[in-house]
Chains A and B, each alone.
Chain A
Amino acid sequence: MMPLALRLAGRELRGGLRGFRVFLLCLSLGVMAIAAVGTLRGMIAAGLADQGAVLLGGDARLQFTYRFASEAERDWMAARALQVSEVVDFRSMIVVGEDRALTQVKAVDDLYPLVGALRLEPDLPLDQALAGRDGLPGAVLDPVLAARLGLAIGDSFRLGAQDFVLMARLIHEPDSLGGGFSLGPRSLVRRADLAASGLIGPGTLFDSEYRLTLPAGTDLDMLQAEAEAEFADSGLRWNDRRSANPGVDRFVARLSDFLVLVGLAGLAVGGVGIATAVRAWAEARRETLGILRVLGADGRLILAVMLAQVLAVSALGIAVGLLFGALLPMLAAPILSGLLPFPLQATLSLRALVEAGFYGVLTALIFSLWPLSGAARQRAAALFRGGAGARPGWTAASVVAGLALTLIGTATLLSGNRWLALGTAGGIAVALALLALAGMGLRRSARRLAHRPRGRLALRAALAALGAPRGEAVPALLALGLGLTVLAAMGQIDANLRRTIAADLPARAPAFYVLDIQPDQIDAFRKMLSDDPEVGKVEAAPMLRGVLSRINGRPAAEVAGDHWVVRGDRGLTTLAGAPADLASGKWWPADYSGPPQLAFSAKEGAEIGLKLGDRLSVNVLGREIEAELVAFRNVDFSSAGMGFIMTLNPGALAGAPQTHIATIHAPPDAEARLMRDLGRAFPNITLIAVRGAIARAAEALGAIATATATAAASVMVTGLVVLVGTAAAGEGARAREAAILKVLGATRGMILRSFALRAALLGTMAGAVALVAGSAAAWAVIVWVMEGEFMLAPLVALAIVGGGALASLLAGLAFALRPLRARPAQVLRATE
């Protein structure tokens, strides 16, 4: 049967691809979007892998917090590496006269950079720049920092107790990405020149990094295992060139997963267009199908003939989509390289293309099989009697359901976040169901209301058209509505996040975080602030950073998996008396001096599966402290105040060099003065202006929002294509309607009003349903995923509903002009 079906299909396709234009466009747009996201992700991954050693600053990196490498650790590194370069990274304040600014200081040795090259302006070698002049050691600053402080080349500034001279601006730092997100712009000094600064003292929060270049052919897995075994429980953190910044890898992966899901929503929208196009195409083939029936073709053969044609056209659409999806990111690479903070390498990702192609095939089948099955069951009598095709049977329904489950299952398996994938699939299904119900409801209501508006022909004709049994209401509503739903969801999520960051957070957040307050400064610090009438609440607590290394004797990563608490070091504090946020358990007495006891944040503890009585080991400054978990605290990190994952009894960290951190609440107009006064009184402390930090976070959010808005826009474009296709398909019917109305005496204005009304009603309905569905999806994301408070953003809501009505109106009117212009006789003669 297949060879015959293919032969017959081939003859049919000789007639051209007319009737498949919308099908092709919808399928290729959807596949292109997914392929482009996957290709870009592959390019970023290739870039990160290729530049791994440069980004990391070496083939491998060993990192410690609060301390330098011990002799044993240095000997170990020296025995295995070709070169070892030590870098110290910490936050501090740059002082110029009365001005202060936060900076992320990198103090380097003579070997820096081991890999890659810096670019300075003026173009000096780094060692010459750091050598300084006029008796002062040199420094290199981020141009933003220099500009903010009004520093020119040759000007001096202070770091801690040490003066430096600005010798150059830092134009390119090859290993900046390997360090992760920082709040302060970069300053680069020589490690040796910090000796007199007073900044690297006991308890100061700093990271020491040892970058290694290794002999060719070194087995990094083995070396890592060796280091971690040799220095287990030392607080060592290992990175190597295969993944210079796991945080960046995770971010790129998550964003890509999310964008692929948006792409799948686009394919779903395209699927509506595919279903409409296939239905119309099968309808146009009614005569041929009837003839084949009469000549002895059974339903299977007819289905095979039609399916072969649809698959052939699908292959073309998928091929076009894959081609553009692969090419566009590569062509845009030079522009994207400037915009993205990641290196890009133009490369094809076969996995991305296969994934996109697979989704394309499944989508084409899911949305084609239903109308094709109906057409294949058409009786021979339909050839003569016309009328609708038969309804598809249970077999078709089962196959379509099976294919849909395969699509959802594949997307879920390939996604890095399975719940998000399932939630997205569920959301799309619910949105489609809501829109289909709305379409049927609109049709029924319109039919019922159509006879009412007497004397208002335009409205009556519009309602009659919307209520027509096989009219364009449902497909147009589905396509436009789903695209608008995605936009509505994105828009509400973005608006809520920005509101939180721009309004809620600053209202609750302190004006400053203060770091590195020495133990002998804390009392004077508190007194100074309590005497200041403009200062509100001040909170302070001792702080150390430590790594949660073991849970009940097992490696923490084994128990907690990839939970953020076990990724890297965390802030610890000590507290004598029971806090107000005690959730469960029994707090130690204020004068407790027994074995170490620990309280954990309740939410994160539940996520990891901790319970009272568990024994946790925390590595602080290379020392393992094992403590019994005796209490849980309700720590609220969303308030932007102080919050610690772990709290120990004071005795557990007695003798450990620690500093205090503090938060200060003050009005915005007191910030500059406070920064000056505190900086003068306590030159070693670091002040982080929280509003500035929030602004930087908002900037980063803006960039992400642009990426997601672009993805949502591609979904909208597909929706518009389907809308335009549906409108174009109805042009003939509108021409006949217009001709008859003109014969009966209607003016073109009346007819145009009718066309406009039906388009506007359709678009408004689509927008309204999209607003409900999109807002519900946004609520779920904000409340369940981000644990925030959701508030409907009215302007966004209005834009969605209004945008829907406008899009539908424009599409409807665009395809009303020709029918209006045609002469009645011309149209009516053609239909006889």
Chain B
Amino acid sequence: MAEPILELEDVRLTLAGNAGAVEVLRGISLTVEPGQTVGLVGPSGSGKSSLLMLMGGMERATGGLVRAFGQDLGAMDEDGLARFRRGRMGVVFQSFHLIPTMTALENVAVPLEIAGARDAFARAAEELAAVGLSSRAGHYPAQLSGGEQQRVALARAAVPRPALILADEPTGNLDAANGDAVMDLLFGLRDRHGATLVMVTHAPELAARCDRVVRLADGRLA
């Protein structure tokens, strides 16, 4: 049997706020197998996005163990985590988070450039075409609509052929039509590359498309 792609054991996350410490996650234990699609659902403030960030090494657990691809993420420093993400993980955000001073093509090429790929731009062009935005390759994020920006973000997440795609409310800032189109693309990309997909969503119909739904409430698995 293949090793789980993600293993969380009694993971806790406490954040310091202006009003004192806040326990965001209170002992989450979870395993994600390769190739699964997992939807993280729950009310606002339940810790879904924080759990996703922990899985991607973008946040550090204050207790417990987070293993990805068999490696303990807690044992790595920030640079180690960044290098670990290269080629293994793709991340899609609700607010797109494209680099405003780079064109669509350059935004998609960046993860490959960071990983040292020589054919970064050729592959980026292919991925941009796969999301239907070849004609917008030279445009800056400010010149793209919300849906187009999210498609560029999808292409950027998928271009390194990551084994794990993390998506935090990818349709949260989009209207229904664009949201549907983006989700179709996301699942299509996942199918094409055989990646594992973990997605935070409020939308029940999106959660229904996943192999597995994990519910959170008040920082715990419900």
The answer to whether A527 has its CB under 8 Å from any CB of chain B is no
B78 close to A299 (CB less than 8 A): yes
The answer to whether B58 has its CB under 8 Å from any CB of chain A is yes
The answer to whether B43 has its CB under 8 Å from any CB of chain A is no
B97 close to A300 (CB less than 8 A): no
B58 close to A296 (CB less than 8 A): no
The answer to whether B110 has its CB under 8 Å from any CB of chain A is yes
A296 close to B53 (CB less than 8 A): no
Chain B 87-104 against A: per-residue CB contact (8 Å), 1 yes, 0 no? 100010000011111100
Among B100, B101, B115, point to the contact of A296 (Cβ < 8 A): B115
Decide: A14 near B101, CB < 8 A? Known: A296-B115, A381-B53.
yes
Within 8 A of A (CB), among B14-59: 15, 49, 53, 56-59
Complex Cα distance, B193 from A82, in Å, reads 96
A381 close to B114 (CB less than 8 A): no
The answer to whether A294 has its CB under 8 Å from any CB of chain B is yes
Within 8 A of B (CB), among A1-50: 4, 7-8, 11-15
Complex Cα distance, B83 from A231, in Å, reads 80
Complex Cα distance, B86 from A301, in Å, reads 14
CB distance from B17 to the nearest CB of A (A): 10
Chain A residues whose C-beta falls within 8 Å of the C-beta of B72 in the assembled complex: none
Decide: A298 near B82, CB < 8 A? Known: A4-B113, A381-B58.
yes
B78 close to A296 (CB less than 8 A): no
> What residue in chain B is nearest A7 (Cβ atoms)?
B113
A294 close to B91 (CB less than 8 A): yes
Decide: A288 near B99, CB < 8 A? Known: A295-B110, A301-B114.
yes
Decide: A380 near B81, CB < 8 A? Known: A12-B101, A295-B111.
yes
Chain A residues whose C-beta falls within 8 Å of the C-beta of B100 in the assembled complex: 15, 287-288
The answer to whether B7 has its CB under 8 Å from any CB of chain A is no
Chain A residues whose C-beta falls within 8 Å of the C-beta of B102 in the assembled complex: 11
Chain B residues whose C-beta falls within 8 Å of the C-beta of A291 in the assembled complex: 97-99
Chain A 373-390 against B: per-residue CB contact (8 Å), 1 yes, 0 no? 000010111011100000
The answer to whether A293 has its CB under 8 Å from any CB of chain B is yes
Among A13, A294, A300, point to the contact of B56 (Cβ < 8 A): A294
Chain B residues whose C-beta falls within 8 Å of the C-beta of A288 in the assembled complex: 99-101
Complex Cα distance, B111 from A533, in Å, reads 99
CB distance from B61 to the nearest CB of A (A): 12
The answer to whether B175 has its CB under 8 Å from any CB of chain A is no
Chain B residues whose C-beta falls within 8 Å of the C-beta of A14 in the assembled complex: 101
CB distance from A289 to the nearest CB of B (A): 10
A298 close to B110 (CB less than 8 A): no
Decide: A299 near B99, CB < 8 A? Known: A294-B58, A381-B59, A384-B49.
no
CB distance from B117 to the nearest CB of A (A): 11
The answer to whether A263 has its CB under 8 Å from any CB of chain B is no
Complex Cα distance, B82 from A377, in Å, reads 12
Among A11, A13, A379, point to the contact of B78 (Cβ < 8 A): A379
Chain A 265-297 against B: per-residue CB contact (8 Å), 1 yes, 0 no? 000000000000000000000011011111111
**Number of B residues contacting the other chain (C-beta, 8 Å)?**
30
CB distance from B89 to the nearest CB of A (A): 9
Chain B residues whose C-beta falls within 8 Å of the C-beta of A15 in the assembled complex: 100-101
Decide: A296 near B85, CB < 8 A? Known: A11-B102, A380-B78.
yes
A383 close to B59 (CB less than 8 A): no
CB distance from A504 to the nearest CB of B (A): 61
The answer to whether B106 has its CB under 8 Å from any CB of chain A is yes
Within 8 A of B (CB), among A293-332: 293-301
Number of A-B contacts (CB under 8 A): 80
Chain B residues whose C-beta falls within 8 Å of the C-beta of A381 in the assembled complex: 53, 58-60
Complex Cα distance, B81 from A529, in Å, reads 96
> What residue in chain A is nearest B84 (Cβ atoms)?
A296
A293 close to B82 (CB less than 8 A): yes
Among A290, A296, A299, A377, point to the contact of B97 (Cβ < 8 A): A290
> What residue in chain A is nearest B87 (Cβ atoms)?
A296
CB distance from A464 to the nearest CB of B (A): 16
Chain B residues whose C-beta falls within 8 Å of the C-beta of A293 in the assembled complex: 58, 78, 82
A287 close to B97 (CB less than 8 A): yes
A383 close to B97 (CB less than 8 A): yes
Chain A residues whose C-beta falls within 8 Å of the C-beta of B114 in the assembled complex: 4, 292, 295-297, 301
A299 close to B79 (CB less than 8 A): yes
CB distance from B48 to the nearest CB of A (A): 12
Complex Cα distance, B222 from A156, in Å, reads 119
CB distance from A609 to the nearest CB of B (A): 59
Among B59, B85, B106, point to the contact of A295 (Cβ < 8 A): B85
B83 close to A296 (CB less than 8 A): yes
> What residue in chain A is nearest B99 (Cβ atoms)?
A288
B97 close to A380 (CB less than 8 A): no
Complex Cα distance, B88 from A779, in Å, reads 66
Chain B residues whose C-beta falls within 8 Å of the C-beta of A383 in the assembled complex: 58, 97
CB distance from B155 to the nearest CB of A (A): 13
Residue among B53, B100, B110 with the highest chain A CB neighbour number at 10 A: B110
> What residue in chain A is nearest B81 (Cβ atoms)?
A380
Complex Cα distance, B54 from A318, in Å, reads 45
Decide: A380 near B106, CB < 8 A? Known: A11-B101, A295-B114, A296-B115.
no
CB distance from A686 to the nearest CB of B (A): 77
Complex Cα distance, B106 from A12, in Å, reads 11
Chain A residues whose C-beta falls within 8 Å of the C-beta of B113 in the assembled complex: 4, 7-8
B101 close to A300 (CB less than 8 A): no
> What residue in chain A is nearest B56 (Cβ atoms)?
A294
Complex Cα distance, B106 from A296, in Å, reads 15
Within 8 A of A (CB), among B127-148: none
> What residue in chain B is nearest A380 (Cβ atoms)?
B58
Chain A residues whose C-beta falls within 8 Å of the C-beta of B91 in the assembled complex: 294
Chain A residues whose C-beta falls within 8 Å of the C-beta of B79 in the assembled complex: 298-300
Among A11, A287, A297, point to the contact of B82 (Cβ < 8 A): A297
Chain A 402-425 against B: per-residue CB contact (8 Å), 1 yes, 0 no? 000000000000000000000000
Chain A residues whose C-beta falls within 8 Å of the C-beta of B115 in the assembled complex: 296
Complex Cα distance, B60 from A167, in Å, reads 96
Residue among A288, A291, A297, A377 with the highest chain B CB neighbour number at 10 A: A291
> What residue in chain B is nearest A12 (Cβ atoms)?
B101
Within 8 A of B (CB), among A567-608: none
Chain A residues whose C-beta falls within 8 Å of the C-beta of B99 in the assembled complex: 11, 288, 291-292
A296 close to B82 (CB less than 8 A): yes
CB distance from A284 to the nearest CB of B (A): 10
A377 close to B78 (CB less than 8 A): yes
CB distance from B87 to the nearest CB of A (A): 8
Chain B residues whose C-beta falls within 8 Å of the C-beta of A380 in the assembled complex: 53, 57-59, 78, 81-82
Chain B residues whose C-beta falls within 8 Å of the C-beta of A295 in the assembled complex: 85-86, 110-111, 114, 156
Complex Cα distance, B97 from A290, in Å, reads 9
Complex Cα distance, B57 from A301, in Å, reads 18
CB distance from A760 to the nearest CB of B (A): 30
Among A290, A292, A299, A379, point to the contact of B110 (Cβ < 8 A): A292
Complex Cα distance, B76 from A380, in Å, reads 14
CB distance from B140 to the nearest CB of A (A): 9
Complex Cα distance, B97 from A377, in Å, reads 19
Chain B residues whose C-beta falls within 8 Å of the C-beta of A7 in the assembled complex: 113
Within 8 A of A (CB), among B55-80: 56-60, 78-79
Chain A residues whose C-beta falls within 8 Å of the C-beta of B60 in the assembled complex: 379, 381
Complex Cα distance, B83 from A15, in Å, reads 27
CB distance from B32 to the nearest CB of A (A): 19
> What residue in chain A is nearest B156 (Cβ atoms)?
A295
A-B residue pairs in contact (CB < 8 Å), sample of 21: A4-B113, A8-B110, A8-B113, A12-B101, A287-B97, A288-B101, A290-B97, A291-B97, A292-B99, A293-B58, A294-B58, A294-B91, A296-B85, A297-B82, A298-B78, A298-B82, A299-B82, A380-B59, A383-B58, A383-B97, A385-B15
Interface residues of B (CB under 8 A from A): 15, 49, 53, 56-60, 78-79, 81-83, 85-87, 91, 97-102, 106, 110-111, 113-115, 156
| A8-B113, A288-B100, A295-B86 known, 5 other contacts, Cβ within 8 Å | A287-B100, A291-B99, A295-B111, A296-B87, A380-B82
The 8 A-B pairs of least Cβ separation, nearest first, read A296-B86, A298-B79, A380-B58, A15-B101, A295-B111, A381-B59, A296-B114, A298-B82
